[in-house]
């Protein structure tokens, strides 16, 4: 009987070890996709800003003409396409849409190089990376269920979006400061919550196609947390040109 119990215990330990190894590989895949997406966005933003600086026609077309609304809203279209169409896409298609999203996001974010100094953008990026890394690690390792916190943060995010729309008309610096501070707190919390959610969505028995699409969606979620945290911090600590 004792030998039978030991065999069962060893089998369970081996199974847990396999799941842990698969989960680590899955999370590494998520972070790799996210990191590559951020690298694409950063490179496109920087070089597109340089191009616009050297060409008044490009600057006016992208940042002044009505086309600026297409540039600003096109990343949102890619997010919707992935969020609602991922089940109908192949993994290869989902990858291409994600890379396309990272590219158009770079064009959309290129305007920050005309608003803030390069040194402050770099400084805020490293602050964001440190905060994001710490909170994502917390979300991955904590035993606490963050579901309730995530629901509260999502309500706060909706409130911030409404406040930002209102402030387009009010142009209140105090409200803008409050939105930025709350935005930092919300996206810091969402980083931990989303990391835990991505971890819990991992299934050992998923096929390569499903696992790949889960990794893409996880990368998109964390990418959006990172970018929004970066932009909120930039509003607070960025030095304007």
**Number of Cβ within a 10 Å radius of residue 98:** 26
The pLDDT of residue 17: 55
**Residues 222 and 195 sit within 8 Å (Cβ to Cβ):** yes
3-17, 45-59, 148-162, range with the lowest pLDDT? 3-17
What's the whole-number mean pLDDT along residues 224-239?
96
| Mean pLDDT, rounded, for 37-65 | 94
pLDDT at 20: 81
User: pLDDT: is 111 or 6 the higher one?
Assistant: 111
Task: Please state, rounded to an integer, the average pLDDT across all residues of the chain.
Answer: 91
pLDDT at 200: 93
Instruction: Check whether 3 has a pLDDT greater than 80.
Output: no
What was the pLDDT predicted at 18? 54
Q: What is the DSSP letter of 216?
A: H
Q: How far is CA 154 from CA 59, 89, 138, 149, 195, in A?
A: 36, 27, 19, 9, 15
At residue 168, the pLDDT reads 85
* 74-105 confidence digits (pLDDT tens): 999 999 999 999 999 999 999 999 999 999 99
How far, in Å, CA of 212 to CA of 195, rounded? 16
How many whole angstroms separate alpha carbon 29 and alpha carbon 6? Answer: 35
How confident is the model at residue 4, as a pLDDT?
Answer: 44
Q: Per-residue confidence at 9, pLDDT binned at 50, 70, 90?
A: very low
Supply the pLDDT for residue 19. Answer: 61
pLDDT at residue 217 tops 80: yes
Question: What percent of the chain clears pLDDT 70, i.e. is strictly above it?
Answer: 92
Residue showing tokens 């608003």? 115
Residue 11: which pLDDT band, with cuts at 50, 70 and 90?
A: very low
Residue keyed to tokens 């835990």: 196
Which residue, chain included where needed, has tokens 């991922």? 86
The pTM (predicted TM-score) of the whole model is: 0.90
Find the helix packing angle between 91-109 and 2-54, rounded to 10°: 40
Q: Helix, strand or coil for residue 207?
A: coil
Instruction: Give the tens place of pLDDT for each residue, 147-189.
Output: 999 889 999 999 999 999 899 898 888 999 999 999 999 999 9
């Amino acid at each position: 009987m004792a030998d039978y119990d030991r065999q069962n215990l060893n089998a369970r330990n081996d199974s847990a070890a396999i799941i842990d190894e698969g989960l680590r590989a899955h999370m590494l895949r998520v972070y790799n996709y996210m990191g590559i997406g951020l690298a694409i966005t950063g490179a496109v933003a920087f070089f597109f800003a340089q191009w616009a600086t050297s060409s008044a026609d490009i600057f006016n077309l992208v940042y002044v003409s009505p086309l600026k609304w297409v540039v600003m809203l096109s990343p949102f279209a890619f997010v919707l396409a992935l969020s609602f169409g991922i089940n109908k896409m192949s993994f290869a298609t989902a990858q291409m849409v994600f890379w396309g999203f990272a590219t158009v996001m770079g064009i959309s974010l290129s305007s920050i190089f005309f608003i803030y100094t390069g040194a402050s953008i770099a400084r805020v990026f490293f602050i964001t990376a440190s905060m994001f890394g710490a909170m994502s690690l917390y979300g991955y390792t904590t035993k606490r269920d963050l579901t309730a916190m995530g629901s509260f943060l999502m309500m706060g995010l909706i409130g911030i979006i409404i406040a930002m729309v209102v402030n387009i008309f009010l142009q209140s610096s105090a409200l803008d400061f409050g939105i930025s501070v709350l935005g930092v707190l919300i996206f810091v919390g969402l980083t931990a919550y989303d990391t835990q959610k991505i971890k819990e969505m991992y299934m050992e028995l998923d096929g390569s196609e499903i696992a790949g699409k889960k990794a893409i969606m996880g990368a998109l979620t964390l990418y959006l947390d990172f970018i929004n945290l970066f932009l909120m911090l930039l509003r607070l600590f960025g030095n304007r040109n």
